[in-house]
A = this chain, B = another copy of it.
Amino acid sequence: MGKNRLEAFSDGVLAIIITIMVLEMKVPHGETVAALLPLAPVFLSYVLSFVYVGIYWNNHHHMLHLAGKVNGAVLWANLHLLFWLSVLPFATGWMGENHFAGGPSALYGAVLLMAAAAYWILQQAIIRGDGTNSTLARAVGRDWKGRISPAIYVVGIAVSLHAAWAAQCLYAAVALLWLVPDRRIERVLDAR
C-alpha cells in the first residue's frame, strides 16, 4: 500500500493547521500602527507555532521518504500525530491572548509533549513495519534530539506556572535545536 496518499493527506492537514493559526490574529479596530501593539504576543506565539509546524512537516517529509511500507498501524499513528498538532492552534491562541501567562504556557508545553510522543510512536510503527533492515532505523540511530526534547518540555511545563518566560525560552530552544536539518538522514541517503 503506497505512502503517497498518506503524505498528501498529512500535507493537507499540516497546511491547514499552519494557516488557520493566523485567524487567531483578529483584525484590530483602530487604524493607527499603535493599534497593532497589543497583538505583539499573539504574533510572537504565531511565529513560534509556525516554526514548530514547519519542523514537523520537514521531519515528517524526511521520515516518510525513508519509510518502506505503510500499514494500518502507521496510518493511525500518523493520524494520532496530526491530532495533537491540530490542537496547537488552540494552545497558541490561548497563550497569545494571555500574554504568555503560566497556565497557557503549561498547556502549550503539554501539547508539544504529546506531539513529540506521537511522532516517536509513528517512527516506531514505521520501523516495526519495515523490519530489521529498516533504512529509517539506521538513519535515526540513537536519536538524541528525539530523547532530549520531551525532557525539556517536561521541565518547561514544570516551571511555567512559576516563571512562564523560562518555559518560553525552553520551548524556543527546542525549536532551534530542530531547525538544523536532520543531517543523520541526509548522511544515510548520501551513502546509498
Contacts and interface: CB of A to CB of B under 8 A. Distances in A.
B19 A101 contact: no
Interface stretch (A29-37, A113-121, A137-145, A167-175): A29-37
A96 to B, nearest CB: 9
A22 B106 contact: no
Contacts of A189: 1
A163 to B, nearest CB: 15
A90 B15 contact: no
Contacts of A27: 24, 90, 93-94, 97
Nearest to A19: B16
Interface in A17-56: 17-20, 22-25, 27-28, 30-33, 35-36, 47, 50, 54
- The range of chain A's interface size is 35 or more
B76 A179 contact: yes
Contacts of A86: 18-19, 22, 50
Nearest to A79: B54
Contacts of A158: none
A109 interface: no
A140 B155 CA distance: 49
A89 interface: yes
Interface stretch (A57-65, A123-131, A146-154): A57-65
